[in-house]
Amino acid sequence: MSKGFSRRAFLGLTAASFATPLWANAPSRSLRPVLRPKGLGEVNMPGIESLLQEAGVSGKLSVAVARVGTGEVLESYGAQSAQPPASVAKALTALYALRYLGPGHRFQTKVVATGEIKNGVIQGDLVLRGGGDPTLSTDGLADLARTLKAAGVIGVKGRFLVWGGAMAQVTRIDNKQPDHAGYNPAVSGLSLNYNRVHFEWKRSANGYVTAMDARTNKYRPEVSVAKMKIANRDLPVYTYKAMGKEDHWTVARSALGNGGARWLPVRQPELYAGEVFRTLARSHGIKLGAPKVTKQAPFGTVLAMHRSSDLRTILKGMLKYSTNITAEMVGMAASHARGAQVASLKSSANAMNQWAAEALGMGNARLVDHSGLGEASRMRADEFAVVLARASEHGVLKPILKDIALRDPNGRVNKGHPLSVKAKTGTLHFVSALAGYISGPGNTELSFAIFGADVSARDRLIGPDRERPKGARTFNSRSKKLQQKLIERWGAVYRA
């Protein structure tokens, strides 16, 4: 792995490797809007306040637009009022991970033997050692099992151990989310299938047939570390309880219908991965005992190794699909590489906050995690718009951002729209954010950040109301329309 790109061509986020002081220290120029060049005022576009009143979005709006190349904030509204960024935080996490891990970094999952091999039997323990790969799948474990067979292994005299201590272990990303939310799983250095288990049910003559498995397109190994029981009730739809080393779920019979499937979060990630690997190894004639979690980092002979895709590819997928566990894992890996002591998601996020303040001039960033799922996170629109403007000069973030479709007045995708937008979206109930880049037929590229939130409405969410609260869809719909109108205003006024 080469980190030279991240230190030099990427962002050079140190005083020694970046000529512009903005990235090494606080901004040297004011973040207040600058005067528009002569002629721009001739464009007849409604102002931000008019657009906000027309949109009817509750809560507070914090927006800013900057010119790529100079980092000058051209226009802002409420920009110094820090708001929840939701998943827009993942864009900052991407910059952080690229800086400290490098775009070519690959995570490694290993199978380690602590003793020699005699007649195909390991004279010690066999350890499945996680390396912090957020994209490890059942297919990857199948490759490891196949390699282990090719090494001549048929059994283990000692124990079968699993180790996920490459990073802090977290039971769930955010404690306020519903137990059954697949986007809120446990986090560990050994994580499989984004730490989700597939729950499937079908109606039968005697009720329902259920299955819990770790499926991919190639494999469907059943698991016992996660169990499901059907309960005769209407609400709640799901309940969860950790019982020993197993995840125990119940589901309301009235919610099942004729059949269906969904992914549920895993709270025992190491044992989950261990059980699946044991099943796959058995298919190759390799006998392993039940997996046991070890807290000690294993050392010995590496018999098999799976390497992830490069970090740039992982981050592109993270930004496209907004996978929370990927953001948390690459964020913690970056904090470790930075030399921070990481005991929790919050401590790792604090390390990223410190870096953002020192290297990017984001002195007001207050993130509690790397994914933006935690509602207590805060970012300022003016600070982040400037960061995006600077990052664009080095071509590291914009190419991996998602294309955002602009729509016509009827809500249909407008393929002929003169502006193109690459950005990261962020959505929580009563929180809607968007940040990225605007380009068009003009000669000016713009960076922008839009953070809108009705924090008081979120504070009123209690119990079941947190999943589908009244008014949340309306807030989100109005926010997205407002975001497009802001983008169109900036594209016209500042000649994108």
Q: The tokens of 74 are what? A: 């051209």
pLDDT of residue 44: 78
pLDDT of residue 27: 43
Question: Which amino acid, residue 411?
Answer: G
Q: How confident is the model at residue 34 (pLDDT cuts 50, 70, 90)?
A: very low
Q: Above pLDDT 70, what percent of the chain?
A: 90
Give strand pairing partners of 213: 198, 222
pLDDT of residue 65: 98
CB atoms within 10 A of CB 217: 8
Residue after which a domain boundary falls, among 308, 324, 345: 308
Which of the residue ranges 35-39, 392-396, 460-464 would you say has the lowest mean pLDDT?
A: 35-39
Check whether residue 285 and residue 407 sit in a common domain: no
Strand 60-67 and strand 73-77: the pairing is: antiparallel
Check whether residue 95 and residue 165 sit in a common domain: no
| Domain span including residue 284 | 107-308
Residue after which a domain boundary falls, among 247, 280, 308: 308
Pick the closest to residue 494 from 417, 441, 415 (CA basis): 441
Check whether residue 278 and residue 383 sit in a common domain: no
Check whether residue 316 and residue 293 sit in a common domain: no
pLDDT of residue 4: 37
Pick the closest to residue 450 from 27, 90, 92, 79 (CA basis): 79
CATH of the domain at 337: 3.40.710.10
Check whether residue 131 and residue 151 sit in a common domain: yes
48-79 core/surface letters (b: 16 or more CB in 10 A; e: else): beebbeebebbbebbbbbbbbeebbbbbbbbb
Q: How many domains does the chain have?
A: 2
Using an 8 Å Cβ cutoff, are 318 and 308 in contact? no
pLDDT of residue 469: 87
**Counting beta carbons within 10 angstroms of the beta carbon of residue 118, is it exposed (0 to 12), middle (13 to 18) or buried (19 or more)?**
exposed
Check whether residue 138 and residue 259 sit in a common domain: yes
- Read off the pLDDT of each residue in 463-491 and give the average, rounded to a whole number: 89
Check whether residue 262 and residue 118 sit in a common domain: yes
Cα 210 from Cα 214, distance rounded (Å): 14
Q: The tokens of 408 are what? A: 């016509």
pLDDT tens digits for 77-94? 999 899 999 999 999 999
CB atoms within 10 A of CB 395: 10
Check whether residue 95 and residue 226 sit in a common domain: no
Residue after which a domain boundary falls, among 285, 308, 331: 308
Using an 8 Å Cβ cutoff, are 421 and 478 in contact? no
Using an 8 Å Cβ cutoff, are 454 and 430 in contact? yes
Distance of CA 259 to CAs 199, 278, 425, Å?
Answer: 11, 29, 33
Pick the closest to residue 91 from 319, 312, 383, 310 (CA basis): 319
Looking at the predicted structure, is the pLDDT value of residue 24 above 90? no
Which of the residue ranges 178-187, 421-430, 463-472 would you say has the lowest mean pLDDT?
A: 463-472
Check whether residue 418 and residue 336 sit in a common domain: yes
Using an 8 Å Cβ cutoff, are 275 and 160 in contact? no
Check whether residue 260 and residue 381 sit in a common domain: no
Distance of CA 230 to CAs 197, 238, 253, Å?
Answer: 17, 9, 6
Pick the closest to residue 384 from 467, 463, 305, 451 (CA basis): 451
Q: How confident is the model at residue 462 (pLDDT cuts 50, 70, 90)?
A: low
pLDDT tens digits for 230-253? 999 999 999 999 999 999 999 999
Cα 137 from Cα 100, distance rounded (Å): 25
Looking at the predicted structure, is the pLDDT value of residue 48 above 80? yes
